[in-house]
C-alpha cells in the first residue's frame, strides 16, 4: 500500500512540475525597438530544420529556405521588426514576442497565427 501511495505522489508531483514548466514557457514578452535590435543583430531566426534568417549588423538579411537563398534588408520601425526582400517576396513588419530563445513574430491587430521559431547564433 505504501508503494502505491508513493507512486501516486510521484505521478502528481510530475504532473504539477510539467504544468509549471509549460506555463513558464508560455510567458512571451513583447520587445521594444531597442530590445529587438539587441536580440536580433548577428543572430539567426530559424525553425532549426527548414528555414533560417540571419540578421546582419549592417541591416542585411539573408534567408535560407528549403535550399533557396534570398537576400534582403531589415530595420526597426515603431517597435516592430520590418523585413524587405524586394519585389519577389515584399516587405512586412512584425511585433516581436520572446520567451527564452523562443520567438513569435506577430502582425499587429491580425488574427493570423504568429511565425514561430528560435533565435540562435548562425550555424553557417
Say which CATH number the domain at 34 has: 2.40.128
Give residue-wise pLDDT tens across range 52-111. Answer: 999 999 999 999 998 899 999 999 999 999 999 998 888 999 999 999 999 999 998 899
| pLDDT of amino acid 88 | 81
**Reduced to 3 states, what is the DSSP secondary structure of residue 40?**
helix
Let me know if residue 76 belongs to a domain: yes
In a domain, 55, yes or no: yes
What three-state secondary structure class fits 17?
helix
Q: Is the pLDDT of residue 38 over 70?
A: yes
Q: Is residue 19 part of a domain?
A: no
Residue 13's pLDDT band (cuts 50, 70, 90):
very low
Ramachandran quadrant class, 86 (left: phi over 0; alpha: psi -120 to 50; beta: rest): left
**Separation in Å, CA 39 to CA 2, 7, 118:** 51, 44, 11
* Residue 34 falls inside a structural domain: yes
Spell out the residues 6+ positions from residue 77 whose beta carbon is closer than 8 angstroms to its own. 33, 93
In this prediction, residues 4-30 reach a mean pLDDT of 53
Domain count, the chain: 1
Element (H, E) at 22: helix 2-25
Is residue 21 in a domain? no
Domain span at residue 110 reads 29-120
Amino acid at each position: 500500500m505504501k508503494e502505491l501511495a508513493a507512486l501516486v505522489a510521484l505521478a502528481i508531483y510530475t504532473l504539477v512540475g510539467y504544468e509549471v514548466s509549460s506555463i513558464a514557457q508560455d510567458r512571451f514578452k513583447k520587445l521594444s525597438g531597442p530590445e529587438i535590435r539587441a536580440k536580433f543583430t548577428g543572430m539567426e531566426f530559424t525553425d532549426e530544420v527548414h528555414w533560417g534568417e540571419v540578421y546582419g549588423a549592417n541591416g542585411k538579411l539573408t534567408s535560407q529556405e528549403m535550399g533557396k537563398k534570398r537576400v534582403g534588408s531589415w530595420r526597426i520601425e515603431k517597435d516592430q521588426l520590418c523585413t524587405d526582400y524586394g519585389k519577389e517576396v515584399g516587405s512586412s513588419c512584425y511585433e516581436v514576442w520572446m520567451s527564452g530563445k523562443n520567438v513569435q513574430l506577430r502582425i499587429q491587430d491580425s488574427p493570423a497565427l504568429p511565425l514561430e521559431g528560435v533565435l540562435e547564433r548562425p550555424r553557417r
